[in-house]
Amino acid sequence: MSAPAGTAIPCGPAPDGHDAPYWEGLREGELRVQRCSDCRTWLWGPRRMCPNCHGFRLGFEGVPMTGTVYSWCRTHHPYMAEYADRVPYVSVVVELPQAGGVRLLGLLDGDEAAIGDRLAGFIERPSDAAWPLPRWRRTEGGPA
């Protein structure tokens, strides 16, 4: 399930720039998640203020690309033209235990998923011009 050559999947930093370190991390081969420097709470999605302590000292830290399936959905209808040749595909909500249990949305490399499945992430680089995307594969060992 890779994007065909020359097809850019719309993604990248939001106009407000809060998630730019996340995208830059993917370009550098690392998954980065926002974390409050004051209370050490992990945050997703990126924001200006910590919802836990109301601090403004937020940064991004690298985390292992391992997690579990919290939820999933198989999509048969392409909601964007760029995905027309990629259906069906499986979207997963991945819970990251090493990042305080925050949950990220991603695409599964494969067509079978179950809640609790262990996942290993990798970074897909569709083209030099496009932003890299986090992707996920089921690992051996079944549910966590």
The answer on 107 and 135 residing in a single domain is yes
- Sheet of strand 58-63: strand arrangement: 42-43, 31-36, 58-63
pTM: 0.83
How confident is the model over 67-87, as a mean pLDDT? 86
Q: How many distinct structural domains can be found in the chain?
A: 2
Please tell me which residue, 127 or 2, carries the higher pLDDT value.
127
> CB within 8 A of 79, min separation 6: which ones?
none
The answer on 96 and 72 residing in a single domain is yes
The answer on 32 and 98 residing in a single domain is no
The answer on 72 and 20 residing in a single domain is no
Task: For residue 99, give Cα distances in angstroms to 16, 41, 42, 84, 93.
Answer: 23, 9, 6, 33, 14
Q: Over 70: is that where the pLDDT of 86 sits?
A: yes
Asked whether residue 86 is assigned to any structural domain, the reply reads yes
Q: Over 50: is that where the pLDDT of 6 sits?
A: no
Domain housing 47: 14-63
Predicted pLDDT of residue 118: 97
Predicted pLDDT of residue 13: 83
Q: Over 70: is that where the pLDDT of 1 sits?
A: no
Task: Give the C-alpha separation, 65 to 14, whole Å.
Answer: 22
Predicted pLDDT of residue 3: 42
The answer on 75 and 55 residing in a single domain is no
How confident is the model over 135-141, as a mean pLDDT? 87
Q: Which of 44-53, 63-72, 126-135 is least confident?
A: 126-135
The answer on 99 and 142 residing in a single domain is yes
Predicted pLDDT of residue 15: 84
Asked whether residue 33 is assigned to any structural domain, the reply reads yes
